[in-house]
């Protein structure tokens, strides 16, 4: 059976808005404790005072996270955004045409065109511009499992400090989750964080990526 501390920490970890208040020291612990006991229906299993103590201990525990968050925000404020529209994502069965994928990758890279090939256990995911969809269809035919169009690629170009600062990409991805934005594909390449989303979501994303 979980302890009061474990129950409290699990609840807090699942509520980002409350975590933000804890990190910034703007929480009413008595009200928070009553809220937790009521929502989890644990009035008879533990006391509000025990929950309150667990909340205070957790606040101390996450203070270092606030310091790290400041470092993350500093990096993101120094980052640059690059937007590419008319992006398509194609999923290909790699067992049939592995050698052709490598040939096409070399061809596109020589022309300096947008092209990323991500290898999975059974498929390749190709991220490129919509103008290449027909060519991919001609080459791979029924090996193509799925093609998604009307996408936008966001490239976050960060300073080198990104390499030694944990949690930057996780922080960025959490912003998409908080705003209900689905990430179609994501790639991390040293100081570049690449995210592919629906073009319908770009206006919302540009607002919360202004650090």
Q: Tell me: the pLDDT tens digits for 135-167? A: 999 989 999 999 999 999 999 999 999 999 988
Cα–Cα dist 61/57, whole Å = 6
Kindly state whether residues 157 and 104 are assigned to the same domain: yes
71 within a domain of the structure (yes/no): no
69 within a domain of the structure (yes/no): no
Residue carrying the six token digits 């650090």: 211
User: Would you say 94 and 123 are in contact if contact means Cβ atoms under 8 Å apart?
Assistant: yes
21: left (phi over 0), alpha (psi -120 to 50) or beta: alpha
Counting the structural domains of the chain, the total is 2
Residue carrying the six token digits 């206006």: 203
User: Would you say 96 and 143 are in contact if contact means Cβ atoms under 8 Å apart?
Assistant: yes
Kindly state whether residues 116 and 25 are assigned to the same domain: no
Q: In DSSP terms, which residues pair with 29 in a beta bridge?
A: none
Kindly state whether residues 56 and 81 are assigned to the same domain: no
Kindly state whether residues 51 and 82 are assigned to the same domain: no
What band does 33 get if pLDDT is binned at 50, 70 and 90?
Answer: very high
Strands (E), the chain: 80-93, 115-119, 123-129, 144-157, 185-189, 192-198
Indicate whether 35 pLDDT > 90: yes
Q: Give the range of the structural domain holding residue 122, as residue numbers without chain letter.
A: 77-208
Question: What's the Cα-to-Cα distance from 27 to each of 21, 30, 32, 43, 194, rounded to whole Å?
Answer: 6, 9, 8, 21, 35
Q: What is the pLDDT of residues 181-205, one digit of tens each?
A: 999 999 999 999 999 999 999 999 9
Supply the pLDDT for residue 100.
Answer: 77
Q: What is the pLDDT of residues 56-108, one digit of tens each?
A: 999 888 877 767 888 899 999 999 999 999 999 999 998 777 667 777 877 77
72 within a domain of the structure (yes/no): no
Sign of CA dihedral 173, 178, 179, 184: positive
Residue 154, token pair as written in the block: 């966001």
Domain CATH number, residue 157: 3.30.2130.10
Kindly state whether residues 150 and 198 are assigned to the same domain: yes
Kindly state whether residues 39 and 107 are assigned to the same domain: no
Kindly state whether residues 91 and 46 are assigned to the same domain: no
Kindly state whether residues 114 and 190 are assigned to the same domain: yes
Kindly state whether residues 87 and 50 are assigned to the same domain: no
Q: State percent of the chain over pLDDT 90.
A: 61
Indicate whether 45 pLDDT > 80: no
Q: In DSSP terms, which residues pair with 89 in a beta bridge?
A: 127, 148
Kindly state whether residues 45 and 107 are assigned to the same domain: no
């Amino acid at each position: 059976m979980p302890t009061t501390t474990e129950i409290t920490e699990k609840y807090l970890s699942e509520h980002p808005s409350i975590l933000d208040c804890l990190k910034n020291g703007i929480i009413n612990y008595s009200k928070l404790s009553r809220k937790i006991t009521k929502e989890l229906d644990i009035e008879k299993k533990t006391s509000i005072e025990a929950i309150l103590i667990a909340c205070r201990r957790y606040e101390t525990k996450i203070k270092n996270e606030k310091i790290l968050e400041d470092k993350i925000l500093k990096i993101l404020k120094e980052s640059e955004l690059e937007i590419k529209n008319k992006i398509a994502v194609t999923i290909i069965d790699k067992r049939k045409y592995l050698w052709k994928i490598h040939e096409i990758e070399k061809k596109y890279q020589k022309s300096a065109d947008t092209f990323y090939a991500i290898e999975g256990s059974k498929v390749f995911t190709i991220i490129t511009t919509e103008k290449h969809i027909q060519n991919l269809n001609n080459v791979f035919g029924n090996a193509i499992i799925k093609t998604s169009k009307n996408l936008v690629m966001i490239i976050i170009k960060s300073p080198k400090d990104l390499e030694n600062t944990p949690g930057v990409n996780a922080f960025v991805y959490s912003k998409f989750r908080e705003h209900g934005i689905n990430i179609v594909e994501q790639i991390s390449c040293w100081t570049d964080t690449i995210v592919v989303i629906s073009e319908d979501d770009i206006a919302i994303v540009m607002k919360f990526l202004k650090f």
